[in-house]
Amino acid sequence: MARISLRNVEKRYDDTLVLRDCNLDIDDHEFVVLVGPSGSGKTTLLRIIAGLEHVSDGELRFDDVLVNDIDVADRDIAMVFQNYGLYPHMSVYDNMAFGLRRRKLAAAQIDARVRDTARMLDIEPLLARRPRQLSGGQRQRVALGRAIVRDPAVFLLDEPLSNLDAHLRVQMRAEILKVHRAVTATAIYVTHDQVEALTMGDRIVVMNRGRIHQVGTPGALYDAPVDRFVASFIGTPAMGFVDCSVERHRERIALVTQSARIDLADAQACVLRQADAARVTIGIRPECLALASEDEARAAEVVVRGTVQVVEMLGAEQYVHAATDGGALTARIPRHRRVRADDTVTFTAAARDVHLFERDTGRALR
Amino acid sequence: MSSVRPRDAVRRATRAARWAAIVVALVVSLAPVYWMVATSFKTELEAARLAPTLWPHEPTLANYRGLWSGSLPFLAFFTNTLLTCLATAVAAVVVATPAAYALSRARFRLRGVIGYAMLVFRMLPLVVLLAPLYLLLLHARLLDTHTGLVVGFATFGLPFAVWMMKGFIDTVPIEIEEAARIDGYPRWQIMLKVVVPLVVPGLLTTATFVFMEAWNNLIYPLTFITTLEKQTLPAALVLAFTGQFKTDWGGMMAAATLTTLPLMIAFFAVQRSMVRGLTSGAVAGA
């Protein structure tokens, strides 16, 4: 068990700043997911926490103890690598026992711990095999087993499921959560897959270009993204965006585009008035858009017109990707609605489902 | 259909040309070996004939018998060569492995310079090192000793061994070492317990190359060893079989055949792992 805190952590390679001003507090036994696109710095941050990379600037603490200069061997962490990192020349048993032997545990104790862990992960029959004799899923279990058999304070996972097929990935997600519940370690999990992040994390840290954009529960990130990047990264299909101009007539304030009519809720108007922004981008999630007739549109708070570009059929529903004059929107609609490419469509939405962002900075207005 | 036939013909012609090239290469490389073995079974007269015979007309083992029963300590030459070459190969991989590990993994100033300096030393002709090595061995009182010869062989074999081992160590995925660091092992133990077992084919390949190179080295034993009984096989071949008035071709070829044999055995023994090592990918959880 360990609380982890990062204060203004930066990482530089020569003149390139790859992590900047990272602040994060992780509680005991929490399961935190670092998510972001390639090159966002999530793996570098994980490696810094592991001690495999040095901090260039800032403070990294485990339970209030500064660990910036403490060697990886003395941090009481365990890590599961993307490519498993198993010792190819050792049996599964030896892979798991290797770290325990270094800690000079008695042979009987090592044996008991390896067998207990193997039983928990269902890999007991594989103990005598070499890694190359195992399937991808089995190797992943062994890598997990090797990490937890040591009962570490911090359990780090670097995209551990990225080499598995879709079916196995879903199965292993549940397995990892089960393992985390069974151990006392604090877990930090890196992934670029936001579905993995949403389904697994107690809290999620969204990163991009070496910066932490937002830290929050899956629900908070989905409902209240702090900027346009988080809004577009979290959620599948991604949130659609339309650029608008802000028009002010004394007390009245309105968002204007050629293809949309937007009646803002009072709270949103109030935010816009205070923000003093002239150019705004609205964001609407696919499930908040409905396909409407002209009659239905008249009564709606938000109406956007566009031309259908692509229709993706998913069985129970379909995704309609449409272009408007201010940007692209995606709508999730029931499969029975007949829509084809090049159709002109009208979408409606409730004002409360509209997210407002400053167009220049991408910052959420709320 | 009509377009298939010309393509078949081209394919057949290509295959024929390839086989022809292989046969020519084999003849060029194996003819001297054949000549050596054939001559070793010829009588003294037949071996020295002006019109050479393609195969021994009166095959004899006299040349081989002569090696053991003659005045020359052939067995001593053989043992000298085997021991010095084995010692060189072992010393080279023992020293080269940590050096290669450092060059492969550690980040330090002058890392590139040191690496390339080794490569440059390797490119120097053997004789360039002869005089300085002679002086060094003289001052260290190692002239005319097998230890001195091993030092000489190693100076030339080491740079090559380091580069070769570095290539093998580079192929070991870094995650495996990081896993061992997280498991709490210090660097040198990671090298011994994780990296070395994964590059065993590389170790064998490197040791074999160094061994063969030392075995074939003629100029160092000729220069550093002055007592005939301490001499290695290649040098002994030159010294013992070439007389002032005649050359014992049959005896020389019999000795040369026996000299080549251990090299061939060494090569064939590690050939499989050598190919695996050179093409690599053998390591890691692939």
State the pLDDT at residue B283: 33
The number of angstroms, rounded, from the C-alpha of A204 to the middle of its chain's C-alpha atoms is: 6
CB of B214 closer than 8 Å to CB of B187? no
Which residue ranges make up each domain of chain A? 4-233, 240-358
Q: Which of B37, B63, B89 is the last residue of a domain?
A: B63
Q: Give chain A positions within 8 Å (CB) of B194.
A: 87
B196 lies in some domain: yes
Q: Give chain B positions within 8 Å (CB) of A77.
A: 182
State the pLDDT at residue B265: 84
Q: Tell me which chain A residue has its CA closest to the CA of residue B200.
A: A89
Reported confidence tier of residue B274, pLDDT bands at 50, 70, 90: low
Reported confidence tier of residue A88, pLDDT bands at 50, 70, 90: very high
Give the separation between CA B239 and CA B226, rounded to whole angstroms.
Answer: 11
State the pLDDT at residue B262: 81
State the pLDDT at residue A299: 87
Q: Which candidate in B182, B185, B189, B191 is best for mutational testing of the A interface (most A CBs within 10 A)?
A: B182
Interface list for chain A against chain B, based on CB atoms closer than 8 Å: 50, 52, 72-73, 77-79, 81-89, 98-99, 102-103, 131-132, 139, 146, 150
Q: Tell me which chain A residue has its CA closest to the CA of residue B196.
A: A89
Rounded average pLDDT over B42-53? 83
State the pLDDT at residue B285: 35
Q: Give chain B positions within 8 Å (CB) of A73.
A: 181-182, 184-186
The number of angstroms, rounded, from the C-alpha of A36 to the middle of its chain's C-alpha atoms is: 6
Q: Give chain B positions within 8 Å (CB) of A79.
A: 178-179, 182
Q: What is the pLDDT of residues A285-301, one digit of tens each?
A: 999 999 998 888 888 89
State the pLDDT at residue B275: 66
Rounded average pLDDT over B2-24? 86
Does residue B121 sit in the same domain as residue B221? yes
Reported confidence tier of residue B245, pLDDT bands at 50, 70, 90: low
Reported confidence tier of residue A366, pLDDT bands at 50, 70, 90: confident
Q: Give chain B positions within 8 Å (CB) of A53.
A: none
Reported confidence tier of residue B112, pLDDT bands at 50, 70, 90: confident
Reported confidence tier of residue A146, pLDDT bands at 50, 70, 90: very high
**Domain count across chain B:** 2
Does residue B151 sit in the same domain as residue B43? no
Q: Tell me which chain B residue has its CA closest to the CA of residue A147.
A: B183
Q: How much of chain A, in percent, has pLDDT values that exceed 90?
A: 72
Q: Do A73 and B286 count as a contact with CB atoms less than 8 A apart?
A: no
Does residue B58 sit in the same domain as residue B135? no
CB of A341 closer than 8 Å to CB of A311? yes
Q: Do B175 and A131 count as a contact with CB atoms less than 8 A apart?
A: no
Q: Which of A72, A86, A87 lies nearest to residue B181, judging by beta carbons? A: A72
Tell me the pLDDT of chain B averaged across its residues.
Answer: 86
Q: Which of B40, B63, B86 is the last residue of a domain?
A: B63
Does residue B150 sit in the same domain as residue B219? yes
The alpha-carbon gap from A230 to the nearest alpha carbon of chain B, in Å, equals 31
Q: Which of A80, A54, A84 is nearest to A69 (CA)?
A: A54
- Helices B233-241 & B200-216 angle (0-180, nearest 10): 20
Q: What is the pLDDT of residues B167-219, one digit of tens each?
A: 889 989 999 999 999 999 999 999 999 999 999 888 988 898 899 889 989 89
Bridge-based pairing state of the strands A240-249 and A279-284: antiparallel
Reported confidence tier of residue B278, pLDDT bands at 50, 70, 90: low
Q: Give chain B positions within 8 Å (CB) of A96.
A: none
Interface list for chain B against chain A, based on CB atoms closer than 8 Å: 173, 175-176, 178-186, 194, 197-198, 283-286
Reported confidence tier of residue B46, pLDDT bands at 50, 70, 90: confident
Q: Which candidate in A89, A133, A158, A159 is best for mutational testing of the B interface (most B CBs within 10 A)?
A: A89
The phi and psi torsions of B188 (rounded to 5 degrees) equal -65, -30
B284 lies in some domain: no
State the pLDDT at residue A158: 94
Q: Give chain B positions within 8 Å (CB) of A99.
A: 182-184
Q: Which helix (H) or strand (E) holds A171?
A: helix A166-182
B91 lies in some domain: yes
Check which CATH number belongs to the domain holding B91 and give it.
1.10.3720.10
State the pLDDT at residue B7: 82
State the pLDDT at residue B221: 93
Does residue B258 sit in the same domain as residue B232? yes
The alpha-carbon gap from A24 to the nearest alpha carbon of chain B, in Å, equals 23
Q: Tell me which chain A residue has its CA closest to the CA of residue B179.
A: A85
Reported confidence tier of residue A261, pLDDT bands at 50, 70, 90: confident
The alpha-carbon gap from B193 to the nearest alpha carbon of chain A, in Å, equals 10
Q: What is the pLDDT of residues A190-246, one digit of tens each?
A: 999 999 999 999 999 999 999 999 999 999 999 999 999 999 999 989 999 999 988
Phi-psi region of A250 (alpha: psi -120 to 50; beta: other; left: phi over 0): left
Q: Which of B18, B47, B63 is the last residue of a domain?
A: B63
State the pLDDT at residue B120: 85
- DSSP for A104-158, written as a single string: T--HHHHHHHHHHHHHHTT-GGGTTS-GGGS-HHHHHHHHHHHHHTT--SEEEEE
The reported pTM is 0.81
**ipTM associated with this complex:** 0.85
Rounded average pLDDT over A36-54? 95
Does residue B84 sit in the same domain as residue B137? yes
B17 lies in some domain: yes
The domain defined by A240-358 folds into OB fold (Dihydrolipoamide Acetyltransferase, E2P) (2.40.50)
State the pLDDT at residue B276: 61
Q: Do A73 and B186 count as a contact with CB atoms less than 8 A apart?
A: yes
Q: Do B173 and A85 count as a contact with CB atoms less than 8 A apart?
A: yes
Least confident of A92-101, A324-333, B71-80, B274-283: B274-283
Q: What is the pLDDT of residues A2-43, one digit of tens each?
A: 899 999 999 999 889 999 999 999 999 999 999 999 999 999
Does residue B29 sit in the same domain as residue B79? no
- Note down the domain range covering B124: 70-279
Determine the straight-line distance between the first and last CA of chain A, rounded to whole angstroms. 37
Cα torsion at A195, A198, A203, A209 (round to 10°)? 40
Q: Give chain A positions within 8 Å (CB) of B175.
A: 81-85
Q: Give chain B positions within 8 Å (CB) of A86.
A: 176, 179, 285
Q: What is the pLDDT of residues B59-79, one digit of tens each?
A: 888 888 887 776 778 888 889
Q: Do B178 and A82 count as a contact with CB atoms less than 8 A apart?
A: no
B285 lies in some domain: no
Triad A70, A74, A78: Cα angle to 5°:
115
Q: Do B184 and A82 count as a contact with CB atoms less than 8 A apart?
A: no
B164 lies in some domain: yes
Q: Which candidate in B172, B183, B195 is best for mutational testing of the A interface (most A CBs within 10 A)?
A: B183
Q: Which of B180, B184, B283 lies nearest to residue A88, judging by beta carbons? A: B283
State the pLDDT at residue B286: 36
Q: Give chain B positions within 8 Å (CB) of A50.
A: 182
Count chain A–chain B contacts defined by CB atoms under 8 A: 60
Rounded average pLDDT over A356-364? 92
Q: Do A79 and B285 count as a contact with CB atoms less than 8 A apart?
A: no
Would the pLDDT of B121 be above 70? yes
DSSP single-letter state for residue A83: T
Q: Which CATH architecture has domain A4-233?
A: 3-Layer(aba) Sandwich (3.40)
Does residue B91 sit in the same domain as residue B222? yes
